[in-house]
């Protein structure tokens, strides 16, 4: 849920749609909105391939809240690729994907903190409650 000016609302993606997923091509440093597998029949979803229209390489699903850096911003694309390789995307219910470092130079510290924390805040809370 999201709170806007003191009024509690449903998450952005919960009540409406369909929303397109945003796929990134790390080779071309571009992103493209594509139909979600959840908005088509299972037969069609099984056949979907998300290939870059420019280079035909497989693209990765970055989530609905991904905002691609400018194509020539290689530092930001390096940061995005590294985050993806460590399991960080922009999938969420519309309330925000959580903190992501703004600059490449902040990335190492962020990844170390994530490793030290061993999961999300909710996962750590669950571990404490179950022990």
Question: What are the sequence ranges of the domains in the chain?
Answer: 17-130
pTM of the model: 0.71
Can you tell me the distance from the alpha carbon of 108 to that of 120, in angstroms, rounded to the nearest whole number? 17
Q: Which two tokens stand for residue 4?
A: 């806007």
For 51-72, what is each residue's pLDDT tens digit? Answer: 999 999 999 999 888 999 999 9
Can you tell me the distance from the alpha carbon of 124 to that of 127, in angstroms, rounded to the nearest whole number? 5
Distances (CA, A) of 71 to 9, 12, 107, 110: 35, 28, 20, 24
End-to-end alpha carbon distance in the chain: 29
Can you tell me the distance from the alpha carbon of 83 to that of 79, in angstroms, rounded to the nearest whole number? 6
For 72-117, what is each residue's pLDDT tens digit? Answer: 999 999 999 999 999 899 887 666 667 889 999 999 999 988 888 7
| Cβ pair 10, 1 in contact under 8 A | yes
């Amino acid at each position: 849920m999201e709170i806007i000016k003191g009024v509690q609302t449903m998450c952005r993606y919960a009540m409406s749609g369909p929303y397109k997923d945003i796929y990134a091509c790390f080779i071309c440093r571009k992103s493209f909105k594509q139909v979600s597998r959840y908005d088509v029949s299972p037969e069609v979803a099984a056949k979907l391939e998300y290939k870059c229209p420019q280079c035909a390489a497989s693209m990765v699903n970055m989530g609905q809240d991904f905002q691609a850096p400018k194509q020539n911003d290689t530092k930001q694309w390096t940061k995005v690729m590294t985050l993806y390789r460590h399991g960080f995307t922009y999938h969420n219910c519309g309330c925000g994907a959580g903190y992501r470092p703004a600059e490449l130079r902040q990335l190492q510290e962020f990844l170390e903190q994530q490793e030290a924390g061993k999961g999300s805040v909710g996962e750590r809370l669950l571990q404490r409650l179950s022990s």
